[in-house]
Structure 1
Amino acid sequence: MVELSGAVGVALVALGMVLTPGPNMIYLVSRSITQGRRAGVVSLGGVAVGFLVYLVAANLGLSAVFLAVPELYVAVKLAGAAYLARLAWSALRPGGVSVFAPADLPQDSSRRLFAMGLTTNLLNPKIAVMYLSLIPQFISLEKGDVLLQGLVLGSVQIAVALAVNLGIVLAAGAVAVFLARRPSWLRAQRLLMGTVLGALAVSVAADTSAPAAPG
């Protein structure tokens, strides 16, 4: 059985991570603004499946693979850090745009929206770190079935992330209009997003911890 403190801990970590601008937020916001809330919700469906893939893979031994081949873990981590750094530069460079600035993007089909949401989440280094390093720390060996605990705690993370992301999808359009009428706020949001993404990229790249061992 999962300890209440463990579930609360995972929920707080999940909340902090989902509120930090990253690939998932950027993709969901951009699609919600350019194609509407329905497109954002469909994209969120792909993100949800990505969470499930991580949930199952991490609890069935993905961390064991990374422990056996540490070079692969380092490569995945550095690739994720590079992706975050690119996103940070896109926001901070002269002429960069905010995630809430309307963009002229192609109108993708529901299938492509779903697939892109899934791919974006699978390549999201924040989620990899969450499942391979953070959630295992809240598992208690004294509470029995480690696999069940991992699945339950992962489900807590998914519930928090989907609830917050759904709110972001539904509010993205209104936020975009609000910021468009206030250019200085839009620039501040772009600066904040770029700074946070850059700091996260450095943090991920500099982290020397090994993946958590499976229970």
Structure 2
Amino acid sequence: MRTATVESARRALFAGLGIAAGCIGWAAIVGAGLGALLAASEIAYTALKWCGALYLFYLGVKLIRSPRKSLDEAPESNDKGAGSGWFLRGFLTNMLNPKVGVFYVSFLPQFIPAGAHAFLSSLLLGSIHGALGVIWFAILIAATQPVARVLRKPAVLQWLDRLTGGVFIAFGLRLLVSEQR
């Protein structure tokens, strides 16, 4: 929502597409049987958890230390070629979250019919989940556009960047200290 209101609907859509691609990535991992490794191996789970937390810390600290005063300060402010950066952010945010992997490991297999090809069925289910996510993101993006002008004011923009950075750091801390898999 922050990206849609403060940056642009286009960037938010690319971030949403990256998150959806992450769903398909996790579905492929589960379909290939590697998701079971994540569910069974404390080391693999912990390593992925640390990578995800560090990525969230990186994003959070960056937003807190250098909040923008205007959208022109964003490195991708011209939107030309900016889609790939936002897509990658969405993708990495999803793929570096071990809880998404554990969710897919516990959720997908129960919907794969006996005798069906596990990898292809997992991809299909992950694609459906990703497509539903993109539809949801499109609705959120459309809903935020009426308030976008207010949220693009310099003082509000700085406040939102710092708030978002704090939320990312809090999510990273929660990910690190969570015992539940």
Same fold (TM over 0.5): yes
Match in the other structure for 1:199: 170
**Aligned 8 A contact 1:136 1:150 in 2:** no
Look up the match of 2:58. 86
Aligned pairs for 1:111-190 (under 5 A) are 113-114=83-84, 116-125=85-94, 128-138=97-107, 145=114, 147=118, 154-155=126-127, 157-170=129-142, 174-181=146-153, 183=155, 185-186=156-157, 189-190=160-161
Q: Which amino acid aligns with 1:84?
A: L
What residue number does 1:13 align with?
A: none
Shift of 1:200: 0.9
Q: Which residue does the alignment assign to 2:47?
A: 75
Q: Which runs of 5+ in 2 are unaligned?
A: none
Structure 1 residue 180: deviation in Å? 3.4
Q: TM-score, normalised by structure 2?
A: 0.65
Residue 182 of structure 1 and its aligned partner are, at CA, apart by 8.0
Contact 1:88 1:195 in 2 (8 A): yes
Normalising by the residue count of structure 1, what TM-score does the alignment of the two structures yield? 0.57
1-structure distance, mates of 2:100, 2:9: 28
**CA separation of 1:132/1:124 partners in 2, compared to 1, >3 Å: closer, same or farther?**
same
Aligned in 2, Cα 1:186/1:109: closer, same or farther, shift over 3 Å? Answer: closer
| Alignment coverage as a number of residue pairs | 176
* Structure 1 segments unaligned to the other structure (5+ residues): 1-24, 211-215
Aligned residue identity for 1:119: L
Q: Conserved in 2, the CA contact under 8 Å of 1:77 and 1:125?
A: no
Deviation of 1:92 (Å): 3.4
Distance 1:143 1:113 in 2: 34
Aligned-residue sequence identity (percent) comes to 20
Give secondary structure in 2 for the equivalent of 1:124: helix
